[in-house]
Structures are given as structure tokens and as C-alpha cells.
Amino acid sequence: MSNIPADLMFTSSHEWVKDEGDDTVTIGITDHAQELLGDLVFVELPEIGDVIETGGEAGVVESVKAASDIYSPVSGEVIEINEDLVDSPELVNEQPYDNGWIYKMKLNDASEIEALLDAEAYSAVVESEDH
Amino acid sequence: MLIFEQSSSGRRALAQSPAKKAALDDLPADVLRKDPPAMPEVSELQVVRHYTRLSQKNFSIDTNFYPLGSCTMKYNPRACNSLVMLPGLVDRHPHAPDSHSQGFLSCMFELQEILKHVTGMKQVSLSPMAGAQGEFAGVAMIRAYHDAKGDNERREIIVPDAAHGTNPASAVMCGFKIREIPTKNDGDIDIEALKEVLGPQTAGIMLTNPSTVGVFERRIQEIARLVHEAGGLLYYDGANLNAILGKVRPGDMGFDVIHMNLHKTFSTPHGGGGPGAGPVGVSERLVPFLPVPMVDFDGDKYRFLTKQERPETIGRLSAFAGNASILLRAYIYARMLGREGMTRVAEYSTLNANYMLKKMQLAGFQPAYPERRATHEFIITLKKQAKELGINAMDFAKRLLDYGVHAPTTYFPLLVPECFLIEPTETESIDALDYFIESMIKIQEEAETQSDMVKGAPHTLPVRRLDDVKAARELDIAWKGCDN
Amino acid sequence: MPFIPHTEQEVQQMLATIGVDSIDDLFDEIPAELTQFSLEGIPEGLTEMEVSGLMHQRARQDAGAHCFIGAGAYDHHIPAAVWEVATRGEFYSAYTPYQAEASQGTLQLLYEFQSMMTALMDMDASNASLYDGASALGEAMLMAVRSNRKSKSGKILVPTSLNPAYRDAAYSIVKNQGIEMVGIAVDAQTGKTDLSALDAYDNEDITAMVICQPNFFGVLEDVDALTAWAEQRNIMTVAVVNPLIMSVLKPPGQWGSNGADIACGEGQPLGIPLSSGGPYFGFMCCREKIVRQMPGRIIGRTLDLDGKPGFTLTLQAREQHIRRSKATSNICTNQGLMVTAATIHMAMLGAEGLARTAGASHQNHRKLVSRLTEINGVEAVFSSPVFHETVLRLPIATDQVLTRLADDDVLAGYNLSKDYPELGNVLLVCSTEKQTDQGVDIFVEKLKNLLS
């Protein structure tokens, strides 16, 4: 069973969101997602200043045999990207919720976070996929 | 060792270039190259020996059974190659005048006719240079057809989830959106799901029949009726034409446009990845849109039809007339087969596949579609082995290489877990088929008793399994000199 | 039965194993009403001896002319060993190297090909081929649009001195993706892209610009100035070049201050016979930073389980079999066999051999043009230096000249008037290192007679 931290919010497309409390969030892909993809070889990051809608494409994570879009869980403006992933995409495999974060966003609407899945609901999504 | 690493400064193949070096001093200095490119400096013998040795590191049809599903790795008759190398054919310039082209053009015209008859289409253009370009041409014609009618809202192409990746990629290149529909457990497409996605936005559907899961789509006439009633057109992906050549024709099934893969069905060389040739055939309503150039015959002379004479064409797709000498090879093969030979292609490729399927089933391997007939290919799933023994389709594939057999297509179609797509072709004898099955049985035993050995396979090839992750993370895609 | 090994006894044995009575029973899932048709229109089969006789006869019909046509396909010497080795069954009858361990021959050869092409173009990365030069340009345009994220217009500047067949094919490929090709005029005097014509686009959002070397008229372009203009405006540059000639001319990687972004073109001059226009191969090189936007197969060097070097397909997540509708291109099968021959050809000639071949073509061309322009009424249309092709003005209709000379087995060149009627009666002639004095004498004599 993959790691699903209780303090984060999630999407059914396997992104996680951390509320930083100041109308900004940090976004990455879940442990379950990185396990499905296997060893990542490349992360296509958004650009700082990009304005992305909820569900819009924010980037791509790529392994040898698969590539998967990152769908933005919330809408807003990209304010920071994880440049370390350019040379070390394996950080997403090793520390998906920590040094493997992908981008930070200034929220349009803080209430969007509440509409996301909590850890329990996301666990159910993962479990249903396994069967 | 790379050819670059065999260089010796100043060495070269002296017989192969002009004895004198031109000065080029009449050209302005700023357009000239200052330093020569870092190319190998080797002798003629070194070149011949190096590439001959490299060739020996390949599996090929000429050396190994190569049952790569969806690729139709049949014997490539040698005459098809030697005859296109005849003077007059090999040295004909693509812009040679008609007076010096009648031999070549007559072959092209006759090939168009043969392909028309065997597919049941109204007209054929030979110009697409591979299957994927044929797909592009076909979908572009569907778009041109709707556009010509002012039907500009039709912007969706329907593709089954089991389709080859080129289908959605080609449709997107033509500016379409993709609607995927599911495949049912018996291998046919889900007609109820099709009905749901059909509508005024439907431009057409792309189908392979037999499908990529190796079974014949039994309700094809109903599908054709539904799509046509919705105002859409039907596209036939010719990847699996070998299965039905001379037995049933895409035109009769109701398709409006098809592409053929001549490097599959018509036995032109696969060449380590091409060239292909992807002629397209169309029903009456798409004839005006066929890509140029096309060959015409007025009863006396053969000539190319150009854009000016085909004002509604989707245009040209290559600088000249497509992969001409691949088309010539296909022509020679088609003439050797003749009409009886075409039908035999489908019959014996199907016989071989069904024989293998039955024997593998008897040996305990699990077919993906046990209640269906195999066509020219079939799928087995190794999910039981993966789960119980930890030996997956990749491990079986790699171990087969140790037995001197090229692996079947693995992990395609994506919807069957741990799958092998196996296509023996008609040119393989029962002995080759039996050897493959015996090898699979032995690997099954090995998987049960010495699984680590199987997971470490291959053991007898020039290299063992390669680190693909390292290849992608630390890109080394061109030699950078001895110092690096 | 041709190419089918089954004996009657084996067929019976196989049917018994399957549990059916006849081969026809295996087709029982096909609706019966679909199987009623006739193949009468297809001739009966021939033996190899018969088809060989037929093809010899067809080949003879087209043989035996002196050819001065270029226009995108060039008749260069090809060492005998090139196709002897390339058509070894192990290369000829293998497929895309999906099983890397069983395809190290093809994979290493492709890695060497990529290395040779990057050296020739002086660029970072090369793919393992596209279909031909024209379709490679179409793909390069799409790649430029993907790579230039700052530009939104999808407008690409294309000089009118680009091979018109390339323009047409590229247009067919890109037209449904919101891309606009904008023509840039040629200076009527020099035959080069008119730098002053670019001023009109100074303040426009332009995504990419195509630069040819040499251009379709054989003329050498001011590639540095064109590249510099684009660089200053963050416009992606797409070079379309003759790869053989890059052995002696400044390669795309050295144009302007930073080099072109993408280089593509027709690989045919590198060991591929004329063979009626195909199969040839398109090549494409680019800077490393946009390699993930490149279409087609790419081979990488890596290590195996034992730490031994080996070769494998890499960056596959760009491709249709993984990315499907979001792939960089729909290309699957490429021109593997042609690239096999070209790699052997380039290894055989080396930098020096390629440069000598290119140089001799240029020198022969100077001879040809000086002889032809001695004829009354025949003159070069453009004043700029050319490489191995020249546009000549004729005193009578080009069609007439071509037809009459063809009657005497002289294929005098390409009828440029069809594509550029504004130039009047013009003919594009070409030379390679294979041109002979005798061939030139016949050409000059026949043309002189016709025009006198």
C-alpha cells in the first residue's frame, strides 16, 4: 500500500495539494502515481507566471515506458517550480511529497481546496484501482 | 567498438571519391566550412567488416523466426530487391520525362489496379510513404470531404481503445479530437458505446479489421451502417490486411478509405525500421481528394496526374512520388503471387496462427479470447505466470531470444495484461511453429524451477538487458569524440 | 505454392489439431455475404523467371540517357559495397529494434548515423530518420511551433526559393494545425532571399523561419544574415540543407551567432540511388534543449546488466505508441534501410571523400554552365554564386527544349517555368562528380542545333 499523508488533499488523477495557508499551495504527484509510472526520466514543468485552470495541463511526468499529464488540481498562477527536477527527476520517485514537489501556485479561490479528496477518499480511489 | 574509434588520421577509401580535390576558391569565404566534420577515417575493408559484423548482431527474418504481431514478418523474396536494382529502374530520375518513364509508370499503374481489385476500393493513390502517412492521408481526406460539403462541425474521430497509437496521433495531426470507445470482453467493439458517441460532430471512425486484438469484427456491416447514418466515414487501418487478402475486401465491408502497409502485406523489406509504403484506396465519394501524384493511363501512354488536374486533392505528401522503388518491389511480389496467391496469403497465415493458438492452449497457455477464432495473429496472456511465478511477458520475451526466436509483440494491445501478440505469417513451416511452442513450454518449466535465470535472460546475445532509465536520464545520442 | 512451405499432409495434420475440416472453416466468423467478389482483374501469378523477364523489359524502356536533372535528387557515385552490405538479410529483413538485445547491429548503426549527422550539421542531436526531405520539413515546422512557446501566431516565413514540392508537401502536413506559411520574396537579380523583404515582419509575432542552403535555384544564401535576423527576434530557424554539400559549406550549427535551431533535409545524396524519387530519407537535427520535441526514433547508448555498453531506443515517451494523441508525430516506421546504406556510405567516404565529391560536382558544374552559356540566347538568370545547379534562361519554351533533347536521350534539366512562370523560359541544370566531358559535348551540341 502506498503512502497517503493525512495532511494533504488529492485528486482522482493522482495529484496532491498542500495548503500553505497564505493562499498558495504546493502540488505534486502521489506515491501511488510514481509507483505506477516507474522510474521517472523527465519532468516537464510549467513556467512561472502560467495561469492554469482547474483540470488544465500543468506539465508531464515521463518514465521510460509511459508519459502522464499533470492536471492542475486547482486554478491560479504558477509562482514557483521545482528546478531540481530538471536534473533529478528521480526525486519524484524517492520523495514524492517532499523534495519531489512539482510547482507552487497562487490560488484564485481558496475554497477549491475543500472540494478535493481527503486522504481517506483518495485511499478508496487507489484501492478501487487495484481491484 | 564504434566505427569512429577505428579511425586513423588520413586514412580513407581511396577508390571511392574523386582523385583531385577541388579548390572552391570561387565561392565567398564566409559560406565555406572551416573545419571538416568529425567523421570516421577508415579503409574500405574496415567499413565492410565493421558493418558486416554489426549485421550479425541482428535477428532478422532471413536468420530467425520473427513472429512479431501486427508487423507481418514474412519472407521477402530476393528477386524483389535484385530486379529493382536493374539499370533503367535504379537510376531513373524522378523528374525524367514521360518518354523515359513508361517502364516505371506502367508498373505503378498496374500496381494501383491490383490494389484496387484486392481491396474493393474505387481508386488508389500510391504516394504515402508509410502506414502512418497513409493514415494521415486518409483522415485528411475525411476532413476535406466534410469541409467541401461545408460540414465544418464534424471534428471528432472515433478510435477503439485497442487501436494502434498511430491512429489517434494521425487524427490529431489533421486537427481532430479523439473519442475512444471500449472493446468488449469477446474482442468486438462495444456497439452501444459507439452509438452513444456518434452524432453531428462525428467525422469518422478508424478501425482495423481484423482488429488489433486478433479477431474479426463480426458486426462490421452494422457499424458501417451506424457511422454512415450519423454522417461519418469509415477508415480502415490496413495493418492486418494479410489476414483477409483475397478473402474479404474492406470496400465490401463498407469502408470509405483504407491504407495498406506494403512492407507487411506485400512483403517489401522491413529494413531495420523501414522504409514502408502506405498507399491509400478510397470509395467513390473520396476519389477527388486522393493525394497526388497519381498515375494515369490513356490507353497509349502512362503519366502522372498533378495537382492542377486534381484540384480537390489533399495535396502532395513527399517531394516526388512516394517510396517508388518500394512500390516496385510490391509490384513484383504481387505479380509473382497473382490472384490465386493473394488468397493463399490469408489462408495459410490464418492456418498457421490457429494451429499455434490451439497447440499453445493445449500446452496450458491462456488465450486472451478463447472463444474466438484466431485470424492471422492471436494473443496469449501471461498474467498467471506473472502473478504466480513472478515471470512476466518481458521475461518470456527475453528468454525466447536465447532460443533463437525473435519475441512476439509484447504489451500491445494495452488492454490485455502481460500479453504476447503472435503473428507467424504464411511463409513459416510447421517446424518453425512447433519449435516456437516447444521453446515456450521449456521456458514455462524454467520459470517454475529457475526463475532467476529467466529473469536475467537473455544470456547468449551480444548484450544483456539494457538500462533504459540510464539511457533516458543521461542522454548519450551522438558520439562526442574520444575524450568524452 | 510460391513462398508457402506447407505440404498437403502437413495441412491435414494442422487442420486436425485445430479441429476443423478445411481452411475455409477458419473464416467462419466473416459474414458470408461479404465474400462474394471476383479477383479477375488481377493477373495470374508468374514465376521468378517470368517476372524477371518482364522487369528487364520495363527497365530497358527507361534506360540509357544523359541526365542533367537535379531539383532535389542527385546522381552521385555509390560504392558497390554500400548496397552489398546494406541488403544483407540481417539488415534488410529485420524490423524496428524493439528487442534491443537482438538488434544491436541496427541500433549501433543508427547511433553511428546520428553521430555522423550531428557532425555534418554541427548540431547536438539527430533522430534516426523521417520519410524524405519534404515531409521532414513539414515535421520540422510542427516541431518549431511546439518549441517556440513564446510565440502564439503559428506564422512561419518560407522563402519562395524553397523547393516548391517541399512547400506543397509541408503545407499538406501542417495546414490542419492552424499554421500559416508566409512567402518571402527572392531578389530578382541575385536569386537570394531578399533581406529587405523581411523588414515587413519586424514587429509581427513570427514563430519560425525556413532558411535553405543552397536554395532551389542552386544559389547560396546569406545564411548568417538570415539567421541573425531571426535570432534577434526570438524566431526559431529551420535550416533546409543538402547534407553532402555541408561537408564543404558552413553547416547550420554555425550560422548566425548561435546556429540554427533545427536542421533538416533530404538524405538522398548520401548513398541513395535516384530510383524514381524514393525511398530516400529525411534527416533532422536539433539543439539538445529541444530534443524532446523532435519526432521519430532516437537511439541512445547505455549499459547492460553486466555494465557492458549497448544501444537502445530512447526518449520513447515522445512517440505515438506511448503518447498516442499527444505524440510529437504519428511517425512509426521510418526509412531504416536507407539510413543503413547512408551510414555505410558516409563511413566509406569520410569527411574528405564527401568534400571531394561535393567539390567535383561544383567544378563540373562551372564547366557545364560556361559551355552552355556560350550558346547564343542561353544565359544564367541570377548573378550570385551557385553550388551545383543553375537557372538558365532559354530563347524558346522550356518544354520544347526538354522534349526535343529527350528525343536524343539528353535529359536537359528541370522545367522551372512550371513553378515560376514569372521567370519566363527557364531551365534548372545540375552537375555531379559523375558528369563526363562526352556527356557535356552531346548536351551542348544538341542544344546548339536546336536553337540555331
How far is it, in rounded angstroms, from Cα C363 to Cα C431? Answer: 9
Lookup: cell for B36: 571538416
Query: Judging by DSSP bridges, how do beta strands B280-282 and B123-125 pair with one another?
Result: antiparallel
Question: Is residue C377 predicted with pLDDT exceeding 50?
Answer: yes
The SS3 assignment for A29 reads: strand
Q: List, as one string, the DSSP characters of C374-388.
A: TSTT-EES--S-BSS
B474: closest chain A residue by CA: A41
Mean pLDDT of B336-340: 96
Identify whether the C-beta of residue C247 lies closer than 8 Å to the C-beta of residue C120: yes
Question: Which residues does C384 contact at the CB level (< 8 Å), separation at least 6?
Answer: C190, C191, C192, C219, C220
Phi, psi of C16 (to 5 degrees): -65, -40
Question: What pLDDT, on a 0 to 100 scale, did the predictor assign at position A65?
Answer: 82
Predicted confidence at residue A129, as pLDDT, reads: 77
Cross-strand bridge partners of residue A16: A10, A28
Dihedral sign (CA C308, C309, C313, C315): positive
Confirm if C83 and B47 have CB atoms less than 8 A apart: no
Residue with cell 501478440: B421
Stretch B383-398: mean pLDDT: 97
Best mutation target, B58, B90, B91, B108, to test chain C (most C CBs within 10 A): B58
Sign of the dihedral through C-alpha B26, B31, B35, B40? negative
- Per-residue confidence band for B145, with pLDDT thresholds at 50, 70 and 90: very high
Element at B439 (helix H, strand E): helix B430-449
Using a CB-CB cut-off of 8 Å, the residues of chain A touching C322 are 65-67
Which value, to the nearest 10 degrees, does the dihedral of the CA atoms of residues C131, C135, C138, C140 take?
40
Contact status, residue A106 vs residue A39, Cβ threshold 8 Å: no
- Closest Cβ opposite residue C333 in set B276, B322, B407: B276
- How many residues in total does chain B contain? 484
Amino acid at B145: Y
In chain B, residues with a C-beta closer than 8 Å to the C-beta of A62 are 472
Residue A93 has pLDDT above 70, yes or no: yes
Q: Which of B469, B470, B475, B476 to mutate to test the interface with A (most CBs of A within 10 A)?
A: B469
CA distances from C261 to C113, C204, C319 (A): 20, 20, 21
CA distance C178 to chain B (A): 8
Say whether residue C149 is in contact with chain A using an 8 A CB cutoff: yes
Interface of B with A (CB under 8 A): 468-469, 471-473
Query: What is the sign of the dihedral through the CA atoms of B61, B67, B68 and B72?
Result: positive
Whether the CA torsion B135, B137, B143, B145 is positive or negative: it is negative
- Closest alpha carbon to C347 in B309, B11, B411: B11
What pairs with residue B177 in β-bridges? B156
Helix, strand, or coil (residue B414): coil
Whether residue B242 contacts residue B346, with contact meaning beta carbons closer than 8 Å, is answered with yes
Q: Which of B173, B308, B376 to mutate to test the interface with C (most CBs of C within 10 A)?
A: B173
B213 touches C: beta carbon within 8 Å: no
Is residue A128 over pLDDT 90?
A: no
Q: Name the average pLDDT for chain C.
A: 96
Count the alpha carbons within 13 Å of A123 in the hemisphere toward its beta carbon. 10
Distance from CA of C105 to the nearest CA of A (A): 22
Whether the CA torsion B82, B86, B89, B92 is positive or negative: it is positive
Count of beta carbons in the 10 Å neighbourhood of residue A103: 25
Query: Which backbone phi and psi does B294 adopt, to 5 degrees?
Result: -125, 155
| B332, C3 contact by CB (below 8 A) | no
The CA distance from A101 to A96, in Å, is 6
Sign of CA dihedral B45, B49, B52, B55: negative
Give residue B484's pLDDT band: very low, low, confident or very high (50, 70, 90).
Answer: very low
- What's the CA gap between C434 and B91, in Å, rounded? 13
Between C322 and B40, name the one with better pLDDT: B40
Residue of B nearest to A41 (CA): B473
Q: What is the pLDDT of residue C300?
A: 98
What are the DSSP calls for C412-426, one per residue?
A: --EEGGGT-GGG-SE
Which helix (H) or strand (E) covers residue B328, if one does? helix B324-362
From the list C41, C16, C354, C56, the residue with the least C-alpha distance to B107 is C56
Task: Select from B79, B390, B454 the least CA-distant residue to C56.
Answer: B79
ipTM over 0.90: yes
Round the average pLDDT of chain B to a whole number and report it. 96
pTM for the whole structure: 0.97
Q: Is the Cβ of C322 closer than 8 Å to some Cβ of chain A? A: yes
Rounded to whole angstroms, the Cα distance separating C155 from C148 reads 11
Q: Please report the pLDDT score of residue C325 as a whole number.
A: 82
d(CA C310, CA C111): 10
State residue B264's pLDDT score: 96
Burial class (CB in 10 A: 0-12, 13-18, 19+), B398: buried
Contacts of B468 in chain A (CB under 8 A): 64-65
Kind and range of the H or E element at C224? helix C223-232
Q: Kindly tell me if the per-residue pLDDT of C38 is higher than 80.
A: yes
Note the pLDDT of residue C415. Answer: 98
How far apart CA B463 and CA C102 sit, in angstroms, is 8
pLDDT score at A1: 61
Contact indicator for C173, B318 with CB cutoff of 8 Å:
no
Rounded Cα distance between C47 and A40, Å, is 55
Mean pLDDT of B99-118: 98
pLDDT in tens, B240-263: 999 999 999 999 999 999 999 999
Spatial strand order in the sheet of A51-52: A9-10, A15-19, A24-29, A103-107, A76-81, A51-52
Q: What CA–CA distance (Å, rounded) separates B461 from B402? A: 7
Among candidates C288, C285, C287, which has minimal Cα distance to C296? C285
Residue closest to C94 by CA, chosen among C328, C437, C442, C337: C337
Q: Give the type of residue at A39.
A: D
The pLDDT assigned to A130 comes to 65
Closest CA to B293 of C428, C264, C134, C177: C134
Distance CA B394, CA B409 (A): 10
Q: Is B377 exposed, middle or buried (0-12, 13-18, 19+ CB in 10 A)?
A: buried
Q: Render B225-276 in DSSP notation, one character per residue.
A: HHHHHTT-EEEEEETTGGGTTTT--HHHHT-SEEEE-HHHHT----TTT---
Buried b (16+ CB within 10 A) or exposed e, B6-44: bbeeeebbeebbbeeebebeebeeebebeebbbbbbbeb
Q: Chain A contacts of C292, Cβ < 8 Å?
A: 42, 44
Partners of chain C (3+ Cβ pairs below 8 A): A, B
Cell numbers at residue C289, please? 534543449
The pLDDT of residue C252 is 98
Residue B402, pLDDT > 90, answer yes
Task: Give whole-number Cα distances, B321 to B262, B344, C165, C342, in Å.
Answer: 15, 30, 10, 21
Using CB atoms, which residue from C149, C292, C322 is nearest to A66? C322
Instruction: Report how far residue C236's alpha carbon sits from residue C226's, in angstroms, rounded to the nearest whole number.
Output: 11
Dump the DSSP string for A37-98: H-SEEEEE---TT-EE-TT-EEEEEEESS-EEEEEPSS-EEEEEE-THHHH-THHHHH-TTT
Of chain B, the percentage scoring pLDDT greater than 90 comes to 97
Residue C257: how many CB atoms within 10 A of its CB? Answer: 10
The predicted pLDDT at position A131 comes to: 55
Q: What is the pLDDT of residues B17-74, one digit of tens each?
A: 999 999 899 999 999 999 999 999 999 999 999 999 999 999 999 999 999 999 999 9
pLDDT at position C79, please?
A: 98
The band of B279, judged by pLDDT with boundaries at 50, 70 and 90, is very high
